[in-house]
Each structure stands twice: as C-alpha cells, then as structure tokens.
Chains A and B, each alone.
Chain A
Amino acid sequence: MARIPLGCEAVAGSLTPSKKRDYRVTNRLQEGKRPIYAVVFNFIDSRYFNAFATAGGNRVTVYQCLEGGVIAVLQSYIDEDKDESFYTVSWACNIDGTPFLVAGGLNGIIRVIDTGNEKIYKSLVGHGDSINEIRTQPLKPSLVVSASKDESVRLWNIHTGICILIFAGAGGHRNEVLSVDFHPSDIYRIASCGMDNTVKIWSMKEFWTYVEKSFTWTDLPSKFPTKYVQFPVFIASVHTNYVDCNRWIGDFMLSKSVDNELVLWEPKMKEQSPGEGTVDILQKYPVPECDIWFIKFSCDFHYKAAAVGNREGKIYVWEVQSNPPVLIARLTHAQSKSSIRLTAMSFDGSTILSCCEDGTIWRWDVVASS
C-alpha cells in the first residue's frame, strides 16, 4: 500500500454496530446446489419494487417479497445449456415499459428475458468471454452495459439488440472487467473496474449520436456501426488488487477490492488532460473477512446504506453517506456460513437479501424498534 500523505487521510468507520436498526432472518431458500452469484431488486418500475431476481447455475428466477418474510416464486427461466452459469442479472425494461431481465454469465451470451410475456426476447452475442456484470441505465432502462472477461465493457440497446459501443482498446482494461456502473445522473458516464486493479471512468458523450441511432435502427443489429471507445476519461488506482465492485454514490465512487473494506473516493479529473487526475480517498468502511474476490455490495434506492457480505456468511450494513461512517448493523446467523456473493437491499433498505456460494438465499427484515 502506498503511504498515505498527511492531510489526505480517509475517515474509517468503526466496526461497533450503532444498533440503529436491527435485522432478523425471516426466510431462507435453497435454490439448488450451485452457487448463486446475483440477487437484485427491481428499482426500475415502482410496481415491482418488491420483486427480485436471482441468477445462479443455468437458472434465473423471479421472486416477490411478501409481508411476514414470505417469498413467492413468480417465474423461473432455465438455460438449455446445462453448463451455463449465470453470474449476473439486472432489471431493465423495454421502451414500452415491459419489464425485462438481462442476464449473463460463463457463456458470454446476454439473455434478454421478457418477463411480461415469460419468454426470451433476445440473445445478444458478441462478448468473447464470460460476462461478470450487467447494469441498467436508470434514466433509459433499455440501455445496459456489460463487463466481461474479454477485457471490454459494452453498451447495448436491448430493445433493438444492438451493441452500440465497446469500451476497450488502447486505454482499456488490461484484464477481466469485473464490475461496471452507470452514473446516476450523468447519462454519458460509466465506471468500470476489474482485475487490472484499476477503476476507469468512461464518457460516451462524443458517441451519443450512436446511442440515439440505436433506437431507430431497423436493419440487422450486426450491421450497426459499433464504435470503440478506446480512452477512458479517468483511470484511478485506488486499490492494489482486483477491484470487484464499484458503484457511483452521486459523484463519488464506492468500490471494493479484497482488502476487507469498502472505499469511498472522489475522482478529481483535470479538465485539460483527459485520462489524468487524482483520487481523494474520503472514507473507508471496514468489512472483516472479506478478502476473496467476486463479493459485491448493493445499496438501497437512495444510496443511504450499503450491504456487503463476507466469506463467512455475515453481512455488514454501512451508512454510506454519513461522516464518519456508521455501521448500521452486522447480520449474523448461526447457519449462514457460506460466502455471500451479492446482497440486495430493498427500496427503503428494510429488507436485505443475500445469495450464497452454497445456493441459498437469505431474507433479512428490519425489526421494528421498540
């Protein structure tokens, strides 16, 4: 680790739970024997705020959270290729508002599932290797980005099935891309991170015409003039090991590596020189026993809290935007011992779901404080 200069120290949170909120396990599902890598609530359409999807093995499943800890299975999709292993799933929607699920994994094929009609809508082929994460543009939810082992990040229009942009090349990632995220308000901006230990911020401003063009494209998707974005606007070396998850918190970035902590930092770009800039590490959120990669965190709708599991099946819920950081709760259960790959916080953070290496899904609900 680089020596942190005086006056640039980050504020680290204390691991003493504040007991602000307390969570209790209310349900536990066993989906199968294969690990479940993704669980995600629908934040795109308010009708489905309580619906969530999971991805693991060759299966994508849709559930509904009901009162009293009850979980209802709504839909289940199975890839005919038994070897497929879905690593990621994201909610999206078609331009007419039909709820979609976009999933990807080992095979590198992006599956766009029309949950409104319970059928496959499109399969997007193009990535040269497995897909590690898919995220949806909240302002235009028929745009998704995918992060892949083939060292590229790609922007897709799921409505037309077009690969609009490929973020790779001279300034691109030098190893697998593990995570990617849309900026919540700047529609041109995405951030990606991966096994080359860097976080890269990309702008598609100059290529926006292609994004617009993709909505009206009527020819074959393969004929679309897909563009390469070769140079990111910012490259941050915040971590010294794989960076497996990054999320925008406003203009700040919350990212994690395998160093048992989440890091909140501010990218300070130099206007004159793209690609350069400095990083100001503001806060750190310790997460013990979180030293393996592909453990991702999630936030509630308003980015008030972030929940991250660890390799021992415990979940740490941090208040993200308080100074100093406050540990809201530490969730433990005697039987939850398997690595938690991803958590999902519900709209208001009152429900936390975790999906585990052993194929289980846990539901935690906040306990009404007395």
Chain B
Amino acid sequence: MSAPKPSPSASGSDLHIADHQENGSSELEIISVIESLKEKVASDRCAYIKKRIEENAEKVLDVTKNLYKLSMERRNFKIICGDGGVDLLAKRQKDAIDMHNGIGTSNGDNESSSSQEDGYASSAILLGSSIAVKSAVRPINLPEVKKLPPYTTWIFLDRNQRMTEDQSVVGRRRIYYDQNGGEALICSDSEEEAVDDEEEKKEFVESEDYILRMTIKQMGFSDTTLDVLGQCLSRRSGELKARFEDHIKNNTTTSRVNNGNAEGFVNPYIDKDLDAALDSFDNLFCRRCLVFDCRLHGCSQDLSFPVDKQLQWNFPDVDKEPCGPGCHRLVLESEGLSFRQASLEEKAAPASNTASMQIQKRKQGGTPLKKKTKSCQSESASSSEVKPTNDIPMSVKSAGKSGIDKRSSKRIAENVLVAKKKRQKKMVTSDSDRRESEDNSNPPNVKCTSSRKSRRKESPLLDSDKSLQDEAASGASNESESNQPVTSSGETLKKEEFIDENMHNQDLVESKSWKPFEKALYEKGIQIFGRNSCLIARNLMSGLKSCSEIFKYMHRSENRIFSRDGDGMVLSDGCLKADGNETVGGGARRRSRFLRRKGRVRRLKYTWKSAGYQSFRKRISERKDQPCRQYSPCGCQTACGKTCPCLVNGTCCEKYCGCPKSCKNRFRGCHCAKSQCRSRQCPCFAADRECDPDVCRNCWISCGDGTLGIPPQRGDNYECRNMKLLLKQQQRVLLGRSDVSGWGAFLKNSVSKHEYLGEYTGELISHREADKRGKIYDRENSSFLFNLNDQFVLDAYRKGDKLKFANHSPDPNCYAKVIMVAGDHRVGIFAKERISAGEEIFYDYRYEADRAPAWAKKPEASGSKREDCGPSSGRAKKHT
C-alpha cells in the first residue's frame, strides 16, 4: 500500500481532509477507474479458469489413457483365461457383425447354421438394416427376488444421542415430490427464510478488497469514492469504509508484529501445554457418562462441582525405599545430603496442606490485576477444606482456564477470549504446596493490585515460572534470603539453601530443559500428591523426568519464590505482554476447532407460521401434558434453596448436582431388599426410575460368574432387579418381515410378564425440530418420533435400534415406559404378557386421537399398519 494511510485512530479527521482534496475528481472518473479494475479482475479470472481447465485436461488425458490401456488388457486377459467356455456376448457380437457384413454376399444360411451348432438361442436381430429378419432374440428371464420392505438406511445406536446442529431440518429447504408428479416445498416456513440464508453470506472476497484498495489508492479516500464504490459493488458505503479501515489496521499490525515479536507468530503452538490438554478434557469429557466426546450430553457442559464428594489424597505410607534408579533419595545420598531431610519435608507437606490451601484461597479471592479473569471461581478441585463461599456463582463463565498458576498469566489473553465462548466453569487447580512455608508466615496480601511493589509481595500468586524465566534471563543472583520471612520451618529452609547452593550452577541449564508442559504436569503432581517427587515421577512424569530431577526442581522453585527483585518483575511483565500476544492466535485456533466440531451451521430463522402443526408421535401416556421434565444438574453449593434450578424446574436433584447429599430435593433412592425393587413398593420403581447403586442403600448386582470376586453383599443377598436399562440387560430382538406390515421386531427367546425387552433409542431432538421432521415423516407415512419429556423427542428415523421397527397394535403384547436412568430419560419396552420365542412385538403408539394416522385410528381393523408399504405407483418423476 503506497497510498497515504490514515492511521486507524486519526482516520476520522483524515477523511475530512480527503473530502476536500478529492472533491475535484468527478464520479465519472471514479467509475471509469472502478470499471477498469473490474475488467482486470474479470480477465484475471478468465485466465485463471483457462489455466485450471488446461491443467485438468492434461490430467484427464493421462487418466483416460491409462483406462484405455486397461480396457485393452481386458480383451487379452479374457483370451488367456477363457477356459473353454463360450463368451456368448462375444459370439452374439460376432454373429451380428457377420450378418451385417454378409448382407450383400450371403443369404443368411451361415447364421442359422451357426446358431444351431452351438445349441443356444437364435442370434442377433439387425434393426435398421435392409436385410429381412428371420429370427428373434429369446429373452432371458431373471427369476423374481422378493424385495425388502422399504426402509431408510439407519445407524445403530445403543444409547440415545443428542442431535447435532447440522442435522436440523429447521429452516432448511426440503423439496418434496408427490407421487402424482407435483412438487411441494416443505420444511422451510416461508420464502424469506431461504432468502435470508443467502443474504448473510456477504463476506468480502479478495477481488472486492482489491478493487476497494486500488480505487482508493488511485482516487483517494473520499465519500464520493466510497459512494460510487458502494454502487458498483452493491454494498453500503459505510460497510466499505469499515472494511478499508480494517485493512489498514491489519496491515499496520501485521507489519508491526512482523518486525517485533516475530518469533511468537512463527509458531503459536510452541506453548502447547497442559492447559490446552486440560481444556479439551474440561470441554470434551462428560462427567456423567465418564467418556470423552459424549454424544448424549454434549461438550462444554456446565460443570458442577459436588461439594461433598471430593476425595482427599491419602498419602500412602511414604516408603522409605528409593522408588527407582533415578530416585532423589539415591541422588541425595550420593551428594552427601541428609536422607532425613527429604522425608522430613514430605511429612511436613501434608500437615501444612490445609492451612496453605485456605490462605491461598483467600488470596485468590482478592483480585490481583492479572487474575481478573478468573477471580470469581476460586473453588479449587483439590482443596477439600475450602468452604464454599458466595462468590462462586453458577453463572461464572469459565473465567479461568487458569488452571495452574504457572501458566495463568500466559493465557490471560486467551482466557478473556475463551471465557466469552465457553459456558463452563473451569476447575481451578489450587496452588501448589511449595509456597506453604511463606504463605504461612506472610500475612496474606489480599488487596494488592495496583503497585508493582505490592504485587511483588504477594507474588506467590505470580508465576513461579515467570520469575524463573526472569532470573534465568537477568541472571540476577539469588538474594532472596533478605526477603525471606522467618518461617516456622526455618530448618527446612536452611537445608534448601544448602541444596540451592549446590544446584544453583545447574539452574540456568536445567530450568530451560523443563518444557512448559512438564512444568505444568509437575504443578498438577504437587496438587495431587503433595511434595512427593517419587509419586509424581511415577504417576505423572514417567519417561519425562526422573524423581531426582523433580526433586531438584521442587527445591529450586521454592527458592525462586523467595528471590524476587524488582528487575525480575519488570521483565516478567514484559514477558507477559509478549505471551499475551502469542496466545491470541492460539485462542482463535482452539475456538475454531470447537466451531468446526459443530459443523457448518447456518443461522436459522423460525417463524411460528407452521408451528401449529403437530406430527404423529408415539407417546407413553394418553395425557396431553408432558409428564416428564428434563433434568439438568444444578450447581448449588449449599443445600438447595428456592432458587435452585432443579427445584424451579420441578425435578429432583441427582447425584450429578453440586448440592450436598443432605439436600432436601435429592431423590433418596430405596432401601429395598427382598422385593428386589420390582414393584411399586420400591420408591425408585414407583417414581419410574431405575435404582442407582450410588444412591440406593441395598441395590447391588453381581456380575460375571463370580470368578472375579463377589461384591460386598448388601440387602440380604437379594440382587436389585431395577437396573436393566443401566446394565443393558436386554432381550435379543430380531428384525424381520412383519406379519402385519413392512418390517417387524421379533423376540428370539420367550419372556415372562413385565420383562424388560430393550430400549427405544434415537436422536434427541427438540419439539420444534420434531414438528418439522414430522411433516416430512407423515408424508412418508412412517414416523419414528417418540415423545420423551418436556424438552426432547426421540427420533429413530436415521439413528436408532431394532425396536424402532416394532409395530403398533391397539391390543399389544408390550408397553413402553419412560424411565429415569442416572439422570436421563430413556424409553424401555417391556412385555405386557408372557411372550413366546419368535413372536412379533407390538405396542400401542398412543397417538393423540385427533391426530392419529388412519391406520392407527381404527382398532377394529384387521391389523395394525404403521408403514405404508404399498408399492408406490410408478416412479414419481417430475414431468413436463
């Protein structure tokens, strides 16, 4: 860009100046410039297409040459391999050619004789030739094969799946053709809807940018230019102006960035670390199903942290034996350090754990500048002692991926970005114990925000990593002792000093050899295992660092904390800025990954014009209202009050809620033993819930043949019989041609009354979506929709299991029931009576009487007919 560029900040005034200057250039002039540019763009495009087509043509030629070679080879192949058999096609061909060639010379005797010779049917007939045809081709019959009942290809699901957005039919245009040849547009509510879709795609393309840039370059930046440009490009001039300014901004920033922090941009992945890994963990791991990428509950779920379920890490008896050849004990011994010291420390660690956690917690509550983004969520996953406070609102949007202190500052820029996007609270990983000693002694510096000095004081919250870097960079000597507070564990500190002296020389080298990822892992290890380098090495960092390396690092980082000087801080701020820049790119990258996961989603408009339409849906009960309400875990940190989302929604709190077990709204489970939870006496059964061994007192079930050990016997040795959906204890269902209509589901083995047969699985779709899909399905007279609860409808059309083929009957042998299983509603199919092996399964679809399709309306009709199986009369082509 050689044109004078108004700086982004001053563009307003520049505009005015330009206005005056450029008033002279007439519109015509501008138009001619634009036109010439347009021509250039067009000719460039033509040249490009020509080039591409020529390139492709060459390729096609190569390809077809190869194919031709293959087809020539096949001719020879046959001759070699033809083991005596007559290729009748070749023979017919030859006959035809002979006959054709023989028109003038022979009278056709040849053909008749040859056809008699081989004993096959008569030879070819010539059409359009002048020769008289004597014989006819004998048609060869293709024996009839019974065709399958119609179905749409479907995917087997063993559990329900939430609909992904790209599966939505809402707002999509679907053209439906009638058997009679007419075509109808359904699915989209109105014409505008489709139009809206298109209009959104008004992104600037390269060529438009080019014209915009070049025109302004030639004609100057003025309102007239913009107006004319707007006319020519059919855009608003304001839009163009914004675009142009964007351009300039981009250009300047890009160049600045390129000059400046080039390294950071060369490889934005360099800070790929534990946080990124944990990010995907937090986003993709379903804490209800304990699987990644849960299709049922989706990614980026709201996390609720149960208040009373956290396990505290029990330190196993610290074995005095070295954990391996690289154990710090061995190394220390060899270095002449006291063995006792290490173990002493290890003992001290858990003891001071509690106190440090609390202090730490308070510190996090106070909001240092850097921590703004993550200030609110201070609940720490590993600190069980921390009492929930009021500043942990449910709504906190993921403020912090802060995770480990170390990298938090690096990621702040990213956090800000991501925080907007994610509806998720992040686990705040507590600070490591390494700071415990001075935390204990230093009064917690709660309100330090503004000045550097105060920040320095409370710097346990600052990155130790940072300070580490600083030091490495500045080479400042370790004068931390002056700052060092008198601690209760003075002895320990002394020893640390000693170690420090020993190791200080290696520091510069070694601290660099610790990758951010390793440092992060180390921090995690400290959280989980305390200052036990053996455990950390064994469980988290095997293959990365040896125990002794971790031990050294542990002590080094402790010393770092004491050794802060002003220079370091300044530098660290500098680092922070650079890192912030760096991570912006990283953040964008990651977000785009999540966007991608959701697929291309068009913004959809929905009008209520057709919302009145209610499709045929299977139901559980005849009642019109929705008996079941969808459960979603609440995040209440204390016993649920009136504002608890669960309570408001009318659902019970479940084990996935954040509230303590004592919550009044919790479903308490049952205490059944002998009855085996099979009757309404069982509170679970009565509430249409399956028992949950986590909740019920006596419910258990044995598994396997006992060789793997027997579970602790509860409930007087009576197994629970109300966990069949959970355990997938279902009957073998066979798919076959129904005796009634189309496909049917059959039982392989006989079952007794009330036996669980299987689950009706499908896509979980919203009621709105179901209305839309229902319109399509009803036209095909085949619906697999099943009302589940107030939020969701099950659709088994494209995804489901074999039970979707079970037919309707007014006098069925089975019934369907919506059951709450571990917080989710699921549809179970149960035997209404004894059913013998091989029988077809029927249940009552319970269509709403006024909306039921014809075949479901007449119970006296000879059979139930669900799918329209009549052969569609002829092909419904679109005719003229």
Which of B44, B60, B201, B874 makes the CB contact (< 8 A) with A249?
B60
Q: Are A293 and B878 in contact (CB under 8 A)?
A: yes
Query: Contacts A6-B41, A68-B129, A282-B52: A46 and B142 contacting too (C-beta < 8 A)?
Result: no
Report the minimal beta-carbon distance from A328 to chain B, rounded to whole angstroms.
16
Question: Hey, which chain A residues are within 8 Å of B82, CB to CB?
Answer: 97
A356 at the interface (CB under 8 A from B): no
Residues A9 and B45 in contact, CB atoms below 8 Å apart: yes
B 125-151 to A, binary, CB cutoff 8 A, 1 in contact else 0: 111110000000111111111011111
Residue of A nearest to B71 (CB): A46
Q: Is the CB of A128 within 8 A of B150?
A: yes
Q: When the two chains form their complex, are residues A115 and B88 in contact, meaning their CB atoms are under 8 A apart?
A: yes
Give the nearest-CB partner of A37 in chain B: B875
Whether the pair B879, A48 counts as a contact (CB closer than 8 A) is: no
Residue contact A99 to B233, C-beta cutoff 8 Å: no
B93 and A7 contact, CB distance less than 8 A: no
Which chain A residues border B180 with CB–CB below 8 Å? none
Instruction: Report the minimal beta-carbon distance from A362 to chain B, rounded to whole angstroms.
Output: 11
Q: Taking each of B53, B64, B201, B877, which has the highest tally of chain A beta carbons within 10 Å of its own beta carbon? A: B53
Which B residues lie within 8 Å of A29 (CB)? Answer: 127-128
A337 to B61, CA, bound (A): 35
When distances are taken between beta carbons in the complex, the residues of chain B under 8 Å from A251 are 56, 59
Question: In the complex, what residue of chain A is closest to B743 when comparing beta carbons?
Answer: A128
Q: Is A354 an interface residue (CB 8 A)?
A: no
Asked if B139 and A66 make an inter-chain contact with CB atoms under 8 angstroms apart, the answer reads: no
Nearest residue (CB) in A for B878 is A292
Is A66 within 8 A of B72, CB to CB? no
B320 at the interface (CB under 8 A from A): no
User: Quick check: A75 and B878 within 8 Å, CB to CB?
Assistant: no
Which candidate, A13-21, A78-86, A205-213, is the interface stretch facing chain B? A78-86
Closest Cβ of chain B: how far from A61's Cβ, in Å? 8
Mask of A60-74 contacts with B, CB within 8 angstroms, 1/0: 001010111111111
Contact B198 A2 (CB under 8 A): yes
Minimum CB–CB distance from A100 to chain B (whole Å) comes to 10
User: In the complex, A82→B751 CA distance in Å?
Assistant: 43
Would you give the shortest CB distance from A253 to chain B, in whole angstroms? 11
Size range of the chain A interface in the assembly: 35 or more
Residues of chain B lying within 8 A (CB to CB) of residue A133? none
Task: Please determine whether A6 and B211 come into contact, CB atoms closer than 8 angstroms.
Answer: yes
Chain B residues whose CB sits within 8 angstroms of the CB of A74 once the complex forms: 89, 92-93, 96, 124, 137
Contacting A98 at CB < 8 Å: which of B52, B87, B596?
Answer: B87
| B545 at the A interface (CB under 8 A) | no
With beta carbons under 8 angstroms apart, the residue of A70, A75, A240, A250 that contacts B63 is A250
Given the complex of chains A and B, what is the CA–CA distance between A67 and B103 in angstroms?
Answer: 12
Shortest distance in angstroms between B745's beta carbon and chain A's nearest beta carbon?
16
Question: Assuming the A-B contacts A70-B100, A125-B145, A184-B64, are A97 and B88 also in contact, with contact meaning beta carbons closer than 8 angstroms in the complex?
Answer: no
Instruction: Give A217 Cβ to nearest chain B Cβ, in Å.
Output: 21
A276 in contact with B88 (CB, 8 Å) = no
- Report if A170-B155 is in contact (Cβ < 8 Å); known contacts: A44-B71, A77-B139, A184-B60: yes
Complex Cα spacing A130 to B799, Å: 20
A311 and B74 within 8 A (CB): no
Query: Given A7-B206, A62-B89, A118-B88, does the pair A73, B137 have CB atoms closer than 8 Å?
Result: yes
Contact B877 A72 (CB under 8 A): no
| B42 CB contacts on chain A under 8 angstroms | 7, 9
Contact B151 A230, beta carbon cutoff 8 Å: no
In the bound complex, how far is the Cα of B77 from the Cα of A96, in angstroms? Answer: 8
User: Which residues B102-132 have CB closer than 8 A to chain A?
Assistant: 120-121, 124-129
Q: By the criterion CB–CB under 8 Å, are A70 and B71 in contact?
A: no
B473 within 8 A of A: no
CA of A75 to CA of B198, assembled, Å: 51
Q: Which residue of A lies closest to B149 (CB)?
A: A128
Question: A73 and B127: CB pair below 8 A?
Answer: yes
Using A99-B89, A251-B56, A323-B50 as known contacts, say yes or no to A7 and B41 having CB atoms under 8 A apart. yes
Which of B38, B53, B87, B121 meets A323, CB within 8 Å? B53
User: Which B residues are CB-close (under 8 A) to A77?
Assistant: 139-142
Q: Which residue from A64, A108, A117, A151 sits with its C-beta under 8 Å from B93?
A: A64
Q: A72-B126, A128-B151, A139-B70 are in contact. Are A5 and B88 (CB under 8 A)?
A: no
Asked whether any CB of chain B lies closer than 8 Å to the CB of A332, the reply is no
B81 on interface, CB distance cutoff 8 Å? yes
When C-beta atoms are compared, the residue in chain A nearest to B205 turns out to be A5
What residues of B have a CB within 8 angstroms of the CB of A282 in the complex? 49, 52-53
> How many Å from the CB of A181 to the closest CB on chain B?
13
Does B152 sit within 8 A of A, measured CB to CB? yes
B residues in contact with A123, CB < 8 Å: 142, 145
Query: How many Å from the CB of B873 to the closest CB on chain A?
Result: 10
**B798 and A7 form a contact (CB under 8 A):** no
Residue of B nearest to A103 (CB): B142
> Complex formed: what's the CA distance from A129 to B149 in Å?
8
Task: State whether the Cβ of B599 lies closer than 8 Å to any Cβ in chain A.
Answer: yes
Residue among B93, B99, B174, B799 with most chain A CB within 10 A: B93
User: How far, in angstroms, from A118 to B138 measured CA to CA in the complex?
Assistant: 11
> Does A23 lie at the interface of the complex (its beta carbon under 8 Å from any beta carbon of B)?
no
Residues of B within 8 A of A76 (CB): 137-140
Interface presence of B153 (CB below 8 A): yes
A162 to B537, CA, bound (A): 53
The smallest beta-carbon distance between B772 and chain A, in angstroms, is 12
Q: Is A111 an interface residue (CB 8 A)?
A: yes
- Which of chain B's residues 430-476 have a Cβ closer than 8 Å to chain A? none
Say if the beta carbon of B68 comes within 8 Å of chain A: yes
Q: Tell whether B257 is near chain A: CB-to-CB under 8 Å.
A: no
Contacts A6-B208, A48-B93, A75-B89 given; indicate if A93 touches B74 (C-beta within 8 A). Answer: yes
Contacting residue for B77 out of A62, A87, A97, A184, CB 8 A: A97
Contact B151 A150 (CB under 8 A): yes
Cβ contact within 8 Å between B142 and A96: no
By the criterion CB–CB under 8 Å, are A311 and B46 in contact?
A: no
Chain A residue numbers with a CB within 8 Å of B128 are 26-29, 69-71, 363
Q: How far is the CA of A9 from the CA of B39 in the complex (A)?
A: 12
- Collect the chain A residues with CB atoms within 8 Å of residue B494's CB: none
Residues of A within 8 A of B67 (CB): 43, 138-139, 184, 301
- From A66, A96, A152, A293, name the one whose CB has the most chain B CB atoms within 10 angstroms: A66
Contact check, A78 vs B142: say whether CB atoms are below 8 A apart. yes
| Contacts A/B (CB < 8 Å), 26 sampled | A6-B205, A7-B206, A43-B67, A43-B71, A59-B139, A70-B129, A73-B124, A74-B89, A83-B871, A97-B74, A109-B145, A138-B67, A138-B70, A172-B153, A174-B169, A185-B62, A185-B63, A185-B66, A195-B177, A249-B56, A276-B596, A292-B877, A292-B880, A321-B60, A322-B53, A323-B53
Among all A-B residue pairs, the 7 with the closest Cβ atoms: A7-B207, A72-B96, A152-B153, A128-B151, A27-B128, A74-B92, A97-B78
A276-B600, A294-B877 given; 20 more Cβ-contact pairs under 8 Å: A5-B208, A7-B44, A11-B46, A29-B128, A46-B75, A66-B96, A66-B100, A71-B127, A77-B140, A128-B153, A129-B151, A148-B153, A169-B155, A170-B167, A240-B173, A282-B52, A282-B53, A292-B877, A292-B880, A363-B128
